[in-house]
Structure 1
C-alpha cells in the first residue's frame, strides 16, 4: 500500500513539473513599443515607471522573450465565403494580419504560434475562420531564421454585434510569453 502511495505522489509531482515546464497558463506579456513618434499614452506611462501591457492594433509592436517582435494590423470587416469553416451566418467576422519577426539568435518554429480573439466589452470568444477560397488559413506554417519575418492573415467570427473592442492574443509557443493587442471597428 505504501508503494502505491509513493507511486501516486511521484506521478503527481511529474505531472505538475510537466505542466509548469510547458508554460501552461502563462500570463506574462512582452514589452510594448509604440509605433508613433509622440510620447502619449504608454510612452507617458513608461516615463512615470508604468508599463503598458496591451498594444494598439495597427500602431504598436510587442517584443517577447528571445527577441520575438509581434505586431497586428488594424482589424477590418470580413465576409467569409460560403464554404468557410468556423463562421456562422449572422455572426460578426473580422480579418487581421499578424507579423512575427525573429530578432533572436535561434530559428523560430512558427508552427507553434496560437492566435485567439474576443469581441466586445463582454469578451465574447471568437472562433478562428478557415477560408481557403479567400486564402485565409489562420496559421503560420514555417520556421524562420534569425532576422526573418513572416505575416499571416487570421479571420475570426463571433456571435456578437459589439465590435467596439477587439482583443487579440498571440503566443509564439508553449513556453513563450504572450502579446496582447486591442483595436476596434
Structure 2
C-alpha cells in the first residue's frame, strides 16, 4: 500500500504543472492587450487635435487602466507560477522585481486586491469624467453602484492585509523564538 500511496502523492505533487498552460495563456493575453494598448494610443494620436482636455484625460485614463491590468496579469503569472507551480530562479538577476522578495500566497492576494482596487478607482474616475461630460448617458444609480464596488475592493484589500498581518504576527510569535526551544508562551 505504501507504494501506491507514494505514487499517488507524487502524482498529486506533479498536478501543480496543470496550471502552467494557464500562465502561458495569460502571457498570450498580455500580447493581445499590448496590441489593444497601441491601437488606442494610435487612435489618440489621430484625434488629439479635435478633443478637449477632458476627452484626452479620459483616453489617457484608459491607457493607464490597460497598464494596470497588465501589471495585474504579470503579478498573477509570475507570482502564481512561483508560488504554486515552481520557484523561478531569479534571485541573482539584476532586474528581479522587489515585490517578488519573500512573496507568499497571502502577500500575493493582498497585492492583487490592492491592484483591483486601483483599477476600480481608475475606472470610477473615468466614469465620473464621462458623467460630467454626458449626464444623460450615465445614470446616478450606475455611478453609485461603481462607488460601492470600488469600496468593496478597498475594504477587501484592507481585510486581506489585516488578515495577513495577524497571520504573520502569529507565525512570528507562535514559533520557537529562542535557541532553548522556548516559544515565549
TM superposition score normalised by structure 1 = 0.24
| Higher strand proportion (structure 1 or 2) | 1
TM superposition score normalised by structure 2 = 0.24
Bigger relative contact order, structure 1 or 2, given CA contacts below 8 A and separation 6+?
1
**Structure number, greater radius of gyration:** 2
